[in-house]
Structure 1
Amino acid sequence: MRVLVTGGSGLIGRRLVRRIAEAGGRAVVLSRRAEELRREAEAGGFEVVQGDPTAPGAWQGAVDGCDAVVNLVGHGVFAERWSAEVKRKIRDSRVRSTAHVAEAIAAAGSRPGVLVQGSAVGYYGATGDEELDESSPPGSDFLADVCREWEAASAAVDPLGVRRAVMRIGIVLAPGEGALKAMTPMFKLGPGVPVGGDGGLAPARGRQWMSWIHVDDVVGILHMALTNPDAVGPINAVAPNPARNADFSRALSRVLWKPYAPWRVFLPFGPPDFLLRLTLGEVADVIAKGQRVLPRRALELGYRFRHPDLAGALEAVFRPREGAVAG
């Protein structure tokens, strides 16, 4: 299987490229920093194409002859404080890139049979304690609107007979990257505390839900979507056991301090949400609010999670040789 991967140098993409190679396939990575990436490609067994997916260009010809496309491009939601310009980048990097990928698939002489399209659980908006699956409606906040447009842009391949699987990805747990890169220093320096969840001036209690997933399982679900002909439509790439923020924070505190202080102090309250918003701006709402998302379709398709439980997943992130592999 020959697979074009956009976002192939990111947190998820790098690991997916390796997984494709391990399964006997060949990844073609689209990158704006092609020369730098080619030095890695020599050892990694993948090809590199120079190009910027936010703009049409010669890179679109690389789709021709590929068996599949995985589209993971998107400006980081937590990369910088939100302004009108940053919000534009968040949207355009996703929606425009996807439209250009769909155009490339339509123009290909030998079209890929499947598009695995990135999205996020932000699609559902903030919904409190309600359990959500792939049939749940979209939310109405900024990220929900972005996800809805993002997914809609990929629907242009449906009339072409291309199978389309849409990955609504949760909070990815990976060593030294993503959400844990931001959270780990804080939890190492002081006592564990909930982050957000009270909705105002009161101390945070961490009641909001976090739909998390270990990076191994994100890659596993993406690869399943590439190879399973029944993988069509939205698929929630989240673990089957979402956690409240307070429970997540307590588990993270324990695993970080386990080698040093198993009696680690955890405080049942943290800074109020308004301080979080003063510090981070509008993006704080992504942390202070959440969704309780379940992976119904992934389970129906037969996916077996390696890390279904939070404690085991965090052990596997921070002590991979010791952490038990679940599932």
Structure 2
Amino acid sequence: MHILITGGTGLIGRRLCAAFTARGDQVTVLSRRPHLVAGLCGADVRALASLDDWQPDQHFDAVINLAGEPIIDKAWSESRKQVLLDSRVALTHKLIEKIRQASIKPQVLLSGSAIGYYGIHPEEVLYEDAQAGNDFSATLCEQWEQAAAPAKDLGLRLVYLRTGLVLDEAGGVLKKMLLPFQLGMGSRLGNGKQWMSWIHRQDYLRAVLRLLDDEQAHGAFNLTAPMVVTNTEFTQILAHTLHRPALLMTPAFVLNLVLGERSDLLLGGQKVLPKALLARGFQFDFSDLSSALINLLKK
């Protein structure tokens, strides 16, 4: 299978490249820095510098669309919000147009999204049929999915990857938390009651490969572990895994002051369960947070 990945030089994208090449797939990565692709993603991974370089006679069996600027790294000014939208929505519109022009179209599109799609829900259990929220991150995810929707009319099987917090010691939220927790300065955020819907990187990769290969899989899938925890529970389990105390608390007003609107990503929360994945018979290697963190950190 020949797979095109947008956003393939990010941590998750690099993990996917390794997983696909290990099983014998051919991988091409869309990157604005094509000269770095082989070093980041593997010597056998090809680079596509721009979607404009995708010629109609070039065939990909599958497309995985993960491109998007990091959502929490910079303040959400109006210009930054537009960058976040363009890097996801505008690129996906262009991707769909290139698929439309292809002489032989891909069979499947796995398009990125996130559990932020649902908005902030302090208590409600959220499955794939829940409605989109109305805050910025929810609007971003909804528009991202809507941009990919025409793939169905073009005959592709379309899957939305509504991804939770991917736990990987090499990057993402877990790496950012490690140093303060290792120093015994880990803390809960606000009242700590907000839900954290997470997934071990190994289960994420296995789920994506499963959804790519399962010809009956279509629509939205929550990529989250089936045992969701609160921020307080996450804090306690991470501290216990590292054999460190975690007695501190970061007040909500401090996060609001420092992060502004972005603080919703830390103080909000969603209790998101992978109903659709479980219905397809997917079995998680790491269902509970303790075993997941032990696997990632006890090496």
Tell me the amino acid that sits aligned with residue 78 of structure 1. Answer: I
CA distance in 1, matches of 2:278, 2:32: 36
Listed one character per residue, the Cα deviations across residues 272-327 of structure 1 (whole Å, up to 9, x for unaligned) are: 211111122221111001000000111111211111110111112212x4xxxxxx
The match for 1:3 is 3
TM-score of the pair, normalised by structure 1:
0.88
The match for 1:77 is 71
| Structure 1 position 240 matched with structure 2 position 219 | no
Which of 192, 195, 212 is the equivalent residue of 1:226?
212
Listed one character per residue, the Cα deviations across residues 19-42 of structure 1 (whole Å, up to 9, x for unaligned) are: 11122211111111101223456x
The match for 1:210 is 196
Q: Match of 2:242, SS?
A: helix
Residues 103 and 80 from structure 1, CA distance in 2 versus in 1: closer, same or farther, beyond 3 angstroms?
Answer: same
CA distance in 1, matches of 2:257, 2:263: 9
Tell me the amino acid that sits aligned with residue 265 of structure 1. Answer: P
Q: Is residue 37–residue 45 contact of structure 2 (8 Å, CA) maintained in 1? A: no
Q: Is residue 2–residue 62 contact of structure 2 (8 Å, CA) maintained in 1? A: yes
The match for 1:49 is 48
The match for 2:22 is 22
The match for 1:317 is 296
Which of 281, 284, 289 is the equivalent residue of 1:302?
281
Q: Is residue 192–residue 250 contact of structure 1 (8 Å, CA) maintained in 2? A: no
CA distance in 2, matches of 1:291, 1:40: 33
Matches within 5 A, 1:162-201: 162-196=156-190
Which of 133, 138, 142 is the equivalent residue of 1:139?
133
Q: Is residue 210–residue 243 contact of structure 1 (8 Å, CA) maintained in 2? A: yes
> Sequence identity, in percent?
38
Listed one character per residue, the Cα deviations across residues 127-162 of structure 1 (whole Å, up to 9, x for unaligned) are: 111111001111110010111100000001111110
The match for 1:34 is 34
CA distance in 2, matches of 1:110, 1:33: 27
Tell me the amino acid that sits aligned with residue 27 of structure 1. Answer: V
How much does 1:183 deviate?
A: 1.4
| Structure 1 position 114 matched with structure 2 position 95 | no
In structure 1, the gaps of 5 or more residues are 52-56, 197-204, 258-263, 322-327
Q: Is residue 12–residue 218 contact of structure 1 (8 Å, CA) maintained in 2? A: no
Q: Match of 1:13, SS?
A: helix
Tell me the amino acid that sits aligned with residue 287 of structure 1. Answer: L
How much does 1:62 deviate?
A: 7.6
Q: Is residue 4–residue 62 contact of structure 2 (8 Å, CA) maintained in 1? A: yes
Residues 39 and 188 from structure 1, CA distance in 2 versus in 1: closer, same or farther, beyond 3 angstroms?
Answer: closer
Listed one character per residue, the Cα deviations across residues 94-126 of structure 1 (whole Å, up to 9, x for unaligned) are: 101111111111110010000000000000000
How much does 1:191 deviate?
A: 4.0
Tell me the amino acid that sits aligned with residue 22 of structure 1. Answer: A
Tell me the amino acid that sits aligned with residue 38 of structure 2. Answer: R
CA distance in 2, matches of 1:143, 1:89: 13
Tell me the amino acid that sits aligned with residue 15 of structure 2. Answer: R
Q: Match of 2:149, SS?
A: helix
How much does 1:212 deviate?
A: 0.5
CA distance in 2, matches of 1:305, 1:313: 11
Q: State the superposition RMSD in angstroms.
A: 1.6
CA distance in 2, matches of 1:289, 1:149: 20
Alignment size in residue pairs: 299
Q: Match of 1:194, SS?
A: strand
Listed one character per residue, the Cα deviations across residues 200-238 of structure 1 (whole Å, up to 9, x for unaligned) are: xxxxx2000000011111111111111001110000000
In structure 2, the gaps of 5 or more residues are none
How much does 1:265 deviate?
A: 2.8
Q: Match of 2:250, SS?
A: coil
CA distance in 2, matches of 1:310, 1:59: 43
Tell me the amino acid that sits aligned with residue 233 of structure 2. Answer: D
CA distance in 2, matches of 1:97, 1:80: 20
| Structure 1 position 266 matched with structure 2 position 246 | yes
TM-score of the pair, normalised by structure 2:
0.96
Q: Which moved more, 1:291-300 or 1:277-286?
A: 277-286
